[in-house]
């Protein structure tokens, strides 16, 4: 039995943002409208890449301002409500 290759799907984000910037990358449920129909938040590959690039800077600012403290073992989780 062979071990499958490990692939980091995030490594494809810059490629997809360049080749298909306006295509949907992530579609998240956001709630329901007045008629009960599902509402979704959509991020294109271009928008998602911008969020991913901005995230480390935002975390550094929060930590340096004392607004929060991240333990050394913590893994940042992307906030879909942004």
Q: What are phi and psi of 81, to 5 degrees?
A: -85, 0
pLDDT in tens, 17-66: 999 999 999 999 999 999 999 999 999 999 999 988 888 887 777 777 66
Task: Give domain status of residue 32, yes or no.
Answer: yes
Q: Taking a C-beta distance cutoff of 8 angstroms, is the pair 28, 48 a contact?
A: no
Task: Give domain status of residue 52, yes or no.
Answer: yes
Task: Give domain status of residue 3, yes or no.
Answer: no
Task: Give domain status of residue 72, yes or no.
Answer: no
Please indicate whether residue 73 or residue 30 has the higher confidence score (pLDDT). 30
Task: Give domain status of residue 19, yes or no.
Answer: yes
Q: Please tell me the predicted confidence (pLDDT) of residue 13.
A: 93
Q: Please tell me the predicted confidence (pLDDT) of residue 11.
A: 86
- Provide the whole-model pTM: 0.63
Q: Please tell me the predicted confidence (pLDDT) of residue 46.
A: 95
How many domains in the chain?
1
Q: From start to end of 1-82, where are the E strands?
A: 24-32, 38-44
Can you give the residue range of the structural domain that contains 35?
A: 9-64
What's the rounded Cα separation, in Å, for the pair 64 and 58? 10
Q: Taking a C-beta distance cutoff of 8 angstroms, is the pair 52, 61 a contact?
A: no
Task: Give domain status of residue 2, yes or no.
Answer: no
């Amino acid at each position: 039995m062979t071990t499958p290759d490990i692939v980091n799907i995030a490594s494809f984000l810059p490629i997809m943002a360049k080749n298909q910037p306006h295509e949907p990358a992530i579609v998240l449920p956001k709630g329901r409208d007045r008629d009960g129909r599902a509402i979704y938040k959509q991020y294109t590959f271009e928008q998602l890449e911008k969020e991913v690039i901005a995230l480390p800077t935002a975390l550094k600012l929060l930590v340096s301002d004392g607004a929060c403290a991240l333990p050394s073992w913590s893994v940042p989780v992307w906030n879909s409500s942004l």
